[in-house]
Structure 1
Amino acid sequence: MARLLALAACLCALLAALPAPALAEPADIDAAARGVVRVVIIGTEDTPDGAEVFPIGHGTGWAVAPDRIVTNAHVVRDAMMDDSLRIGIVPSDGADAGYAEIVAADPRSDLALLRITSGLRLPPLTMASGPVSDSGEAFAVGYPMNVDRAQGLEIGDIFRSQPPVKSRGFLAGMRPSRNFDTVLHTAPIARGNSGGPLLDGCGRVLGVNSFGADSGGSDAEFFFAVSNREVIPFLRAHGVTARTNDTACRSLTELEDDERERLEREQALARQDMAARSEQERERLTRARFEAEMQVRDERDDRLLASIVLLLIGAGAIWWAFEKRRVPEPSEDHPNPSAWPVPNRIALAAGGGAIVVALLVHFTRPGIDEIDRRVASVMQGRDTGEAADPAKTATERRTFLCRLDPQRSRVTNAETGDVRFEWSPAGCVNGRTQYGVSGGTWSRVLVPNDEMAVSVNSFDPDRAVFRTERYLLSRDAMSKARSARGEYSAPSCEAKGAATQLGEMQSGVLAALPSNPNERLVYDCEPVRD
């Protein structure tokens, strides 16, 4: 029994040590679903009361550009053969339905590209451009008819905005089928899912769901999506450059764990560096004291010797002046001759001056306390040159060039090009955009009118790190964020108290955002010369 318990404990420890698989972020799947639409083939019939509109069939599509929809060719086959039929686009997120026309269709790969002809605009999905794994989570998003029937929806209900159905499964590999590349997976789809996206755990499109394997009701069910190796060239051939992303799909939890470990490593290195600096400082102090003692001792000895020499010279000159003094006899020209001829007076003055200088040299010798002063001067770096002017540093504007750090970033949809900007200590970017400061963090909240995403940019000038966190929001959440943003007007750059005021003003928008962003872009910055 003890052996079994020990074996079980070992197995538990082994399982705990294995890396946990990255789980999907529900917010990423929800964000991708904003660009998923129901594609409805619409017929009309003249009646005594006027033209009656009725659906002939429907499938799913997704936005590859604000006004471009990808779906299956078989979804719009009827509209391709009958000009009287129209293609309706019903968004998933509260916007009015619109119409679309066929731009291109390829029955071989079962792909079709539609253009929205009404004012409807959608957030495009991002396509995974890297190799597709043979395993891992996958999500099918669309409008299966069996769900509509189970809900008891009427025919006309499909013209109203409804969230798409999200089903979870796993990837089962890549394989050619029907003369085109497909992704095999187990995320359940049904009639009506055709043309919808197959997503990875980060909400990026892996392919276009097309058909399922006939299991006969007994075998495990598998489903096929047209792979991006077919979709991307098809779009490019018809003038659409899709958003693509080839970075590894990482969860925010994993990213934050890595960031925490990185900070711990930095702190450990900082402590080691501090200990090494302390040891270096001790060595430097010992060396500085030894050199200062040697210098002071040599200077004291030199001055003592100089003072003795000067005393001897002065004493000799005075002795000579007294010893060689001769009083001349009185004459008619000099009835009272001086007892000190000129040479003796010069010698006497020189001797007295030498003694005075000798005393000055002796009493101005550096004392023992001079050693401490010289050591302090060396340790404070006053011997290495002029110190920087703090007033000049405080008002300095600097230009930074920032490059994305993929290891610290989570990118699913955003552009990742280099960022260049001029930063002032007052938080003014490029002389026109004021950043707010709150809790020691410089940030600016951006709420655009033409995009369903809120960005929070922040900059740490001390560490030279620029960060963008993006929140991909629904129409309702975006409306709330815009309403909160409309409550204030950002102060002009470098106005008095502008940074603190803006930091407080932005709190209303930040409170309207989810707790976690969908994307986090971290840039390492370097100062550059203009």
Structure 2
Amino acid sequence: MGTAALLAAVAVVMCALPHLAAAQDSSSANQSLSDLVDSDLQPVNSTKALKTSEQSVVRVLVVYRGYGGVPLDTVGMGSGFVVAPGYIVTNYHVVEVPPEASSADIYIVPHKDSGATYQPVQLVKKWVEGDLALLAAPGLKVPPLKLYLTPYKNERVVTMGYPDVTDHLLNRSGTALLEPADAYVTQGSIALFASTNPDGSRVETLFHTAPINHGNSGGPLLNECGQVVGVNTWTAPSSVSTAGNLDVSAGQYVATHVSALNSFLSSASVTPTVVTTPCYAKSEDEIVKDDALSRVLAAAAEAQVQRLAEQKKAEADRAAMEIWQLGAMIVLSVLVLILIGLIIRREIRHRTEIHNKEPLAPTAFDEPARPEKVKPPKPEKAKAEWVPHDRVKLPGIKHPIPWGWIALALIIIVAVVGFLIKEREIDSRLSKPKVAAPVATAAIQHMSCDVDKSMSANPLPDAGHIEFDFDLVHACVNGRTPYERQADGNLLRFTTGDANPVAARMELTADGTLFTRYDYRIDPAQYKTFVAQKAALGSLRCSANADAGALAALGENLARIRTLSQSYLTMAPETKTVWRCKAS
């Protein structure tokens, strides 16, 4: 009973092991799935971010007074924005008192969605060289904008402000300008950085292509996350040519760099909110369009994690079953040996009892007695001698252990155990690992290709002769570049440029004799997002010695990159280049 209880306890523990392993696999699967979600790759909704930032942009009105405090007919106008609680930044030339006036009253008109009304403000600090002014508005309850100190060239930007040309078109004048309204918004990109401004002062400056007009002076230049990267200050002036025509310098707009603004605020003991993380933003329409792709990628990632978890659980179950089978065979072997021992012990006792009762009686272990030749008796009678009973010689007793049966039982047990081990995965773990058979050299061909100009529509300018090693079996080029095999047998691959915002679609026929490349130009911001999402899938390399699991994972990643690429390569390709190849 003690042995049976012990065996039952062992059985319970062995049954619980696969379930514990499955629970651990499920936990690790959930952890792996959470690791796939990178918060840095989640874009900011630029539509909402810019709408929120717009509420911090104000109109600046300056009422000039002559000597004796009499208001003049002219009014100065510009834009500004909140940089810290109760503080507003604008251009100094917006609030500067002209020579014909003795003083000026400065007012701000907040955005219509801010919930505030117009109010007077005070000039607390100016910077003439940088054309910046700091205004104090203690009663203003509007959240400040954040500063991003490291904008980059070609970054998409937005200007916000209150240009007077818009007021004229809407017939706003007089008291209508004191009513909160919407800001005017334009888009462009950063074109150039400079260390001096148009006035010749050594002030960090940037050029951009987001149009501004009179009245935009002092307004913010924002990135797509609604963060300040500059203060709009200048626009290239129009001029009259020698022929009397008006020349307009389109696209030349200048802003004071945000780093200069930050230095100015520090000198005034004002601490703005500074952001160091690069802006990664998409419009609400772009996010909606990407939702389908995001769901597909997330579902594929989760399915892969679940498959790995199920595979680990199956391996744990198989290992537990192997342990059970081996344990059962060991127990069975011990029981057979014990049974043989009991049989031998019982036979020995039985023989001893029979021998004590009938010493001359034969047993099952005695050899059959051979008939002896009997000599004919002699004619004369011989006297019979009396022999004592204790001198009678008994036939010899052979050892009762059946060695033949024991050997046969052991052979059967060893054969069954060897068969069970050989048929299970444990055999591969106990034996030496098998070396993978080398791939036949005939499967790898060296291809030599030349451009087919008749089939190439607008080919690449530098397209010429190319050569590569083509592995037909593994769809691998040069031993490292994988291609995705399509239903028709042709091979497909997508790639991106290292420096320029371009992407390419490359197709290779199943026999490697025709190679086609399509090149697409992508918007720089979309290209940056595309490269980040593509890099998140990991590096891709092919190998002739890869196992089945590695090949399956590579195929899934190639399918994800194809789905991702097709969402960006929606326009017609700029170039199409076709090479005809021959095996050499």
Give the alignment's TM-score, normalised by structure 1.
0.49
**Largest Rg, 1 or 2:** 2
Give the alignment's TM-score, normalised by structure 2.
0.45
